[in-house]
A and B are shown apart, each in its own frame.
Chain A
């Protein structure tokens, strides 16, 4: 008896592989790689966010304007009318023609600028390349920022990836309640754009009679206080500092035990902050977060060391979230929601239950049918079928693939189609046996005759699955993965595996010669 043929050995190995690597998924053990359940099965939140990249260009322009302002102050160059037009252009006039070379030299040091000049008047925009790069960086930074924030929020396995030019996919499997979901959405959408802005002390008395357009003429903006929209501040449009220079932010409590946020600036920020506060003692400094003034304390003395605080009407939780948002960096541009799918955990559990019932019921029907129809050949085919399912689960677990609802359907469908190869082979063998061919030759030829059809059929299905994977999103991708693995596994089990079993049993079958018992024909 030729038990150890190479086919059987490979089949045994694949059974062992299938069983060993699917155990963690079945038993949900702590260790080992498990199949991860899609959001539609375990519940959770899936969002597609679009980044408004134009805003990133505006904010880049704004930060360049800040740099120009700092430079001209530092070098004592008198400039006038420094402001931003149409959200993408900086204009200013140099008052002394002798200073022009200095200004030109400074502008040359900043990469990616288009500088046009008429006499003393400058007009600056970003070059095309720089604009594209800025937008690209904005999305990359948004991904990083959102990921950091969600990590610190303490959710299990948040998944944040970029999709295409401007979109970001966020997946949060751990979300259980509507409140959690709302909190996560708020955390993601909070721009956390901290700006320190100089109050325009000369004109602030007129703030209540001024329009926004009038303020803009002076290079100012009108901002509301966070706790009271009736309180207004007139501040210089171009900030002294922005949130990109914040390196740390922590919740603390002031004398009256109100939560405040202490922030720390990086060295460049600390220098600018120190210089500014040193030159402006007695004036006010507005602490602006996301376009609202939190406080505007008087500068009493030069503040070195680069730390400051934001106070003003936070709850402890709010303060905590703002601190997280500040620490993980500002969103360079606002994001909006393009697609959202949230599945409650109970629905996910119902879906798992329903498709498991379908899987088991469908599987049993096929199982019994094969035994009735093919007798022992049916049992052999069923062994291949069971192995097939174990292998699908194992391979999916190994690659960290996600099992989705359509993926479950894919497994169910694979059960139906995996027997196909064995049916083709079985029918070929029967055909040969009916023609009076000897059993060993019928098995050998049955396999080789069936092979071409099985290969052609499987390859075409595989091609369709690949396209499905390339063009599908989310659950469809899962479906394509499951089917592809199913097809490949069935080649291993249904073609190689069953052949090996026949080879091992051949002497017995040949001696027995009972075609009904072995192949279900009279």
Chain B
């Protein structure tokens, strides 16, 4: 079976302005959503307590709310979680007392609401929440810096800048989608974002690698056609891999259970956006940054020359004929 048959070269770069425009709209919309609606930080980052309760029958949400409203846990949020039987109670405060735990108290308080089992109690103090947030931002920025250095070293600085721009594009749109849908941002969502980073970079680098190869091996001197050629040749690989990963993440989304749902959703958006950006956007940045084929070839030739000179020198030393 073949999806992209033959050697058809698509003119991606000729249509780059409309695609860049579309991306600009998506990115700006995402930023607007992020600033107006904000992210729904879960207790991992905001601190607080979460109690997951599973009833043997349909969870009596109104009754739970009524019971809790008569206590100090007034105003805690109670939401359905996955099924009719399961609810999650979110409380903004934390109890730092080891012997008097919110889990124990919930057992007593909810006793009148029916038969239930407390399945999960998460409590994150404000100090820890702050630390986790700091570490998250640190991890994200460090990843970007390391990618920048690695790609600059392996390719050229413009490739690095273009791949970082493409990454920022993907991550911002994914964050916009998270904010729009109101996914609760916890540690696992951070992991998903970092996975998108890795995945989208993976895609972009494979395209860039083809461009580098095209620049080095073909006689073509117009960047546009080298890029078109490279993107077209990697098209079937990009879509295939995205497709297989997509299959897996979709099953994770539908069968992975409520806990993994936000994680799977984030990955889903990331894979779609990442695939789109590595085909239509990443290389466009390269063109917009005025990557010069001549300069690159000259530099490569220089490198090869220096390498040869070194070898010659070494050979001379080794033979002892200076």
User: Which of A's residues lie within 8 Å of B, judged by CB?
Assistant: 48-50, 178, 181-182, 185-186, 188-189, 335-344, 346-347, 350-351, 354-355, 357-358, 361-363, 365-366, 369-370, 372-374, 405-406, 409, 412-413, 415-417, 419-420, 423-424, 427, 430-431, 434, 449, 452-453, 456-461, 463-465, 467-468, 470-476, 479, 483, 520-522
Contact = CB atoms under 8 A, between A and B. Distances in A.
Contact of B251 (A362, A369, A420, A456): A362
B54 to A, nearest CB: 8
A415 B209 contact: no
B34 interface: no
Interface in B189-232: 190-191, 194-195, 197-199, 201-202, 205-206, 209-210, 213
B201 A460 contact: yes
A461 B257 contact: no
Contact of A178 (B104, B125, B246): B104
A473 B125 contact: no
B120 A343 contact: yes
Contact of A339 (B99, B119, B123): B123
30 contacts: A181-B101, A182-B104, A188-B98, A338-B96, A342-B122, A344-B117, A347-B54, A351-B257, A355-B252, A358-B254, A362-B252, A365-B251, A369-B243, A369-B244, A372-B1, A405-B260, A406-B191, A419-B244, A420-B241, A449-B213, A463-B147, A463-B150, A464-B201, A467-B194, A468-B143, A468-B194, A470-B139, A471-B135, A476-B191, A479-B195
Nearest to B239: A423
A350 B54 CA distance: 12
The 3 A-B residue pairs with the shortest CB-CB distance, nearest first, are: A416-B245, A362-B248, A354-B257
Chain B interface residue number, banded = 35 or more
A342 B117 CA distance: 13
B1 A467 contact: no
A431 B233 contact: yes
Interface in B96-132: 96-99, 101, 103-104, 107, 117-125, 127-128, 132
Interface in B249-272: 249-252, 254-257, 259-260, 263-264, 267
A341 B122 CA distance: 4
A479 B98 contact: no
B237 A434 contact: no
B146 A346 contact: no
B260 A335 contact: no
Nearest to B155: A456
A49 B194 CA distance: 28
A467 B101 contact: no
B206 A453 contact: yes
B256 A358 contact: yes
Nearest to A435: B7
B258 to A, nearest CB: 9
A520 B142 contact: no
Contacts of A475: 187-188, 191
A174 to B, nearest CB: 17
A415 B264 CA distance: 15
A409 B120 contact: no
Contacts of A373: 1, 3, 240
Interface string B29-50: 0000000000000000000000
Contacts of B199: 417, 461
- Which among A186, A189, A341 has the highest number of chain B CB atoms within 10 Å? A341
B79 interface: no
Contacts of A470: 139
A185 B244 CA distance: 46
B99 A453 contact: no
A185 B98 contact: yes
Given A351-B257, A427-B236, 7 more contacts: A189-B99, A346-B54, A355-B256, A415-B248, A417-B202, A471-B138, A472-B135
A361 B255 CA distance: 9
Contacts, number: 244
Given A339-B123, A339-B125, A339-B128, A362 B96 contact: no
B191 A416 contact: no
B56 to A, nearest CB: 12
A189 B100 CA distance: 11
Contact of A337 (B52, B123, B151, B213): B123
Contacts of B95: 337
B263 A467 contact: no
Contacts of B104: 178, 182
Contacts of B320: none
Contacts of B257: 350-351, 354-355
Interface centre among B96, B99, B199, B251, by most A CB within 10 Å? B251
B150 A337 contact: no
B290 interface: no
B198 A464 contact: yes
B136 interface: yes
Contact of A340 (B2, B123, B209): B123
Contacts of B21: none
B319 interface: no
A390 B104 CA distance: 42
A460 B255 contact: no
Contact of B147 (A340, A460, A468, A473): A460
A338 B128 contact: yes
Contacts of B243: 369
Nearest to A425: B237
A409 B201 contact: no
A178 B103 contact: yes
A472 B188 CA distance: 10
Given A354-B260, A423-B237, A473-B187, A366 B117 contact: no
A358 B251 contact: yes
A297 B103 CA distance: 41
A493 B228 CA distance: 32
Nearest to A407: B191
Given A337-B125, A372-B1, A468 B202 contact: no
Contact of A479 (B132, B191, B240): B191
Contacts of A413: 195, 245, 248-249, 267
A337 B147 contact: no
A182 B255 CA distance: 34
Contact of B143 (A186, A419, A467): A467
Contacts of B6: 434
Contact of A354 (B98, B132, B256): B256
A259 to B, nearest CB: 21
A453 B205 contact: yes
A424 B96 contact: no
Interface centre among B52, B121, B190, B240, by most chain A C-beta atoms within 10 angstroms, is B240
A94 to B, nearest CB: 43
Given A369-B243, A419-B244, A427-B240, A405 B259 contact: yes
Contacts of B190: 476
A452 B104 CA distance: 57
Contacts of B198: 460-461, 464-465, 483
A343 B118 CA distance: 9
